[in-house]
Structure 1
Amino acid sequence: MSESLALSPELTAPGEALAGTARALYARGWMEGTSGNLSVRLPGGLAAVTPSGRSKGEMSAADMVAVDVATGEVRHAGGARPSAETAIHLALYRSFPDCGAVVHAHIPHGTALSSRVAIAGLDSASFAHYEIIKGLGGPHPEQVTVPVFANWADVSKIGDDVRRFYAGATKPHVPVLLIAHHGATTWGPDLETARNRLECLELLCQQHLLVHR
């Protein structure tokens, strides 16, 4: 475990960005309690991840945990554990070399829609013609199918499902997913893009639920 990493720009600068984004999403009511988590890819095969059990409204750069993307080993913790959803983040980093940041939050409309999909026995949600689809970053701006994963109490099983789903992905994909009864995860080349996609996904789910009452 490298204590010097906590004092270097490798973790401090990304940590400040993660803390600021976490506070903003907490203020929107998308990371209530200690829920939700964010991460960014670091040089040297590492990722900075928000810690487990900490309020996202009171987070600072010093709280961030550095983990090895390939192994999941904690390289710096600052006295904290990495988020329970780290397994999902690592599955995405391993699947997509261009993935630079991941955001996971319990967005209300996205969670409601994912629950409706799961209750219907489906594993995806399809949308068409909504203008906001363009903001998701998928290959088709007029239509999109978002996968909905099962919500396991053992979050590592969700990570395994995500890894298998995207294993060796060669076809174009949409960089967002839903977890039934749980929330949403989005990713992108940087933290701002991943956050924007989360906002677009939540609005898309809200509009869809309004249309299909």
Structure 2
Amino acid sequence: EKSEVNNSCLSRLQYFGVNSIEQEAQAKVIGSFIESPYFLELRTNQQLGYIVAGGAASFDNSSYLYFIIQSGNHPAEYLASKSEEFTITLPDTLKKLTDENFLIIKNSVVDKIKQKPTSIVEQAAKYYSLAFDYDGNFIRDEELINFVKNLTKEKASQVLSKALEDESLKRVTVLLYAKEHNIDDNIKPSFIDVKQWKKTRIYN
């Protein structure tokens, strides 16, 4: 789709789970691992855009990887191809990570989980989420920490590899083109009319 601004953008979500406690732990560790190398390679080294972010997250009933690049210099399909070229190397990079560095990542994740809310509003929002989003499981953080601590580098690599390579898993790729960037003839959208597409969706 053409944008009214002078920036093109890639936004990609790659789903790998349903946000169980185990999958949320995997998302937190894998996401923490992805952040630095993705930014370093595509922002610092290749200088593809001034906004570059990669990681993993869990929300509602989904756990997913995400990759975002915004650029004033390159069209969206170029950003997508460069992102793809790099992300397929991430599982091997994770496998080669030293046990010490992998433990550092996990400990950092545990520290973030243990962080206390800084206001009554944050505390109330957390209790509300635990009560209604997670069926009253008020010890979810403790269970989450246990899954993080028990996650092996081998398992994390397997999850990352499957998320990136398994074509049966859901993926959403949005390519937004700057007004001065041409859309490549090989780029075919999966739908044209947003309103019509929404009518075909099933929402729980």
TM range (shorter): under 0.3
Specify the structure having the higher radius of gyration (Cα). 2
TM-score w.r.t. the length of structure 1 is 0.24
Structure that is richer in helix per residue: 2
Q: Which has the higher contact order (CA 8 A, sep 6+)?
A: 2
TM-score w.r.t. the length of structure 2 is 0.25
